[in-house]
Structure 1
């Protein structure tokens, strides 16, 4: 009796055809959602819907032979981007943006009822991470080590910034929010011969910057030069101001003494 019930459930599941599929693409690429139909029959009515509100964006009526797309809804994000395959009913979204992320529902009404959901994720392109000398840590680090920081200003979601030593992950930081600045420190020895790289990645792509220790971690006697030209200019300007103030104070003191 139990086996009969299971078989009936499976048959009903096949008849209804309710199942989901996840699709991930990079921004700017095209994505095609397949109906798995070989050829549309005369009595088939195919509907494509988008979002939680199931907004109708495309329809195929086999009997009438019409294939309209409603790309002005919602809010015009699909304008000029929807294409229907007139033989299979598959839907293609061209030049995708992150606004096209969401659930797409396919409903086929005909000899059998088929309902299928596609979860589409469109990821923005990642910037290249930047490796620089960490001047804020230079004073506290040992004379034999070099303080570095890898940073990236991201305007995308679900990203991870990581330091690698060879193929091993040393440290990482993740963010799911948009418009955030990520930074990750690293301290290496001046004579370190290992290979290091900083990687920014999301679920489908990555950007990598390799560390050139000889360029960023060269030993130098002048600390300002190690910390880069901007830091050096600031320190030089402060030193000059202190010098001018000292001379002014001495002149004032000398004049005051003469007056007395």
Structure 2
């Protein structure tokens, strides 16, 4: 008697545990929501999770939080129906049913088909959130720029310097912007709003050899820009020295040009003066004449008187 009672209690406990597990699975199914993304104009299949429809299955597909019935399969009555005239006929000629699995197929999707879809059957209940991305809304290419005003050394006592970068995109929505080092994610930022601008900073060593890339993506596609450190990153000392060197080189060129101009002008002036002097001077061949010796002529007077000469002692 005691053995039979113990066996019965064990069976009751096992049955209770099985029921709890079943209920937990049902409620978990009610709360779980599967996200599905698609581009406008494409088709999507909402999978029922069934391999085959059973003889007594009743499958109902509903749309929106108001649970509007849009499709139905009744295996017991061997009937199928799509209600594409509801909700202002937004599903007109766009709904199909897989008669083997009960999955719902939506074709030529537009943005008005985005929302909550609910599957309910005898054995399964599933929720889907459908996101539709506009075909014309392309993802922009991320732009990487350097923030030169943030050029700073990694520490006050270290000569190693860092380069501050910013990756940015404009007019985006429902995207994630990320920095990658090789294949490793460094940082990311996500946004669910429409037409917003995003920017994500990054600081690297200017001599670093690792590969970095900035990626923007949504569930449909992505765009990537790779970082070229040699073009965007320079040391602070180099960035300050370049303008000074350029100014010095420019001044030297100006002084050299002025000096050459003065020398050329002086040489030209000297040549002009020499030409003027040559024009004013006339050279004549000298002529030499032989001079004849002149003999003095003494005239004798007709009457000469001689006077005595007295000598004194």
- TM-score class, shorter: 0.5 to 0.7
| Deviation readout 1:125-153 (Å, 9 max, x if unpaired) | 7714422334xx42452596654321112
Q: CA deviation at 1:45?
A: 3.6
- Judging changes above 3 Å, is the alpha-carbon distance between structure 1 residues 153 and 121 closer, same or farther for their aligned structure 2 residues? farther
The residue aligned with 2:65 is 52
After TM superposition, list the pairs within 5 Å mapping 1:82-161 onto structure 2: 82-97=95-110, 99-108=112-121, 113-122=122-131, 124=133, 127-134=139-146, 137-142=147-152, 146-157=163-174, 159-161=175-177
Q: How far apart are the structure 2 equivalents of 1:128 and 1:213?
A: 22
Alignment: residue pair count: 215
| Range with bigger deviation, 97-106 or 159-168 | 97-106
**SS class of match (2:209):** coil
What is the TM-score normalised by the length of structure 1?
0.63
1:197 matches 2:206:
no
**SS class of match (1:199):** strand
- Judging changes above 3 Å, is the alpha-carbon distance between structure 1 residues 16 and 192 closer, same or farther for their aligned structure 2 residues? closer
- Residues 126, 154 of structure 1: 8 Å contact kept: no
The residue aligned with 1:38 is 52
Q: CA RMSD in A?
A: 3.8
Gaps of 5+ in 2: 1-11, 154-160, 244-313
Q: CA deviation at 1:118?
A: 2.3
Q: How far apart are the structure 2 equivalents of 1:11 and 1:133?
A: 56
Structure with the bigger RCO (C-alpha within 8 Å, sep 6+) is 1
Q: How far apart are the structure 1 equivalents of 2:148 and 2:114?
A: 44
The residue aligned with 1:243 is none
**SS class of match (1:7):** helix
| Range with bigger deviation, 85-94 or 137-146 | 137-146
Name the structure with the higher strand share: 1
What is the TM-score normalised by the length of structure 2?
0.54
Q: Which has the larger radius of gyration?
A: 2
- Judging changes above 3 Å, is the alpha-carbon distance between structure 1 residues 7 and 44 closer, same or farther for their aligned structure 2 residues? closer
Gaps of 5+ in 1: 223-260
**SS class of match (2:18):** helix
